[in-house]
Amino acid sequence: TLLMLVSAMAGREHILRAYQEAIDARYRFFSFGDAMFITRRKDT
C-alpha cells in the first residue's frame, strides 16, 4: 500500500504515530494511484 511505501521512506513508527493521530482527529484517507489525499471528515 501507499502507507507501506511512505513508511519505508519516513520510518514505520513515525508513520504509525501520524496515522493514529489522523484516525483520532477523524481524518478520511483516499488513495489515488501513487498519491494520497487526506482530509477531515465533516461533522454532520
Q: What is the pLDDT of residues 5-23, one digit of tens each?
A: 778 878 899 889 988 998 8
DSSP strand E in 1-44: where? Answer: 27-32, 35-40
Question: What's the pLDDT score for residue 24?
Answer: 93
> Is the Cβ–Cβ distance between 28 and 38 less than 8 Å?
yes
Question: What's the pLDDT score for residue 38?
Answer: 66
Question: What's the pLDDT score for residue 20?
Answer: 92
The predicted model scores a pTM of 0.59
Question: What's the pLDDT score for residue 44?
Answer: 57
Query: How far is the C-alpha of 27 from the C-alpha of 42, rounded, in Å?
Result: 9
Residue 32, CA distances (Å) to 14, 28, 29, 36, 37 in order: 22, 13, 10, 6, 7
Query: How far is the C-alpha of 16 from the C-alpha of 7, rounded, in Å?
Result: 8
Question: What's the pLDDT score for residue 13?
Answer: 93
Q: What would the mean pLDDT of 24-30 be, rounded to a whole number?
A: 83
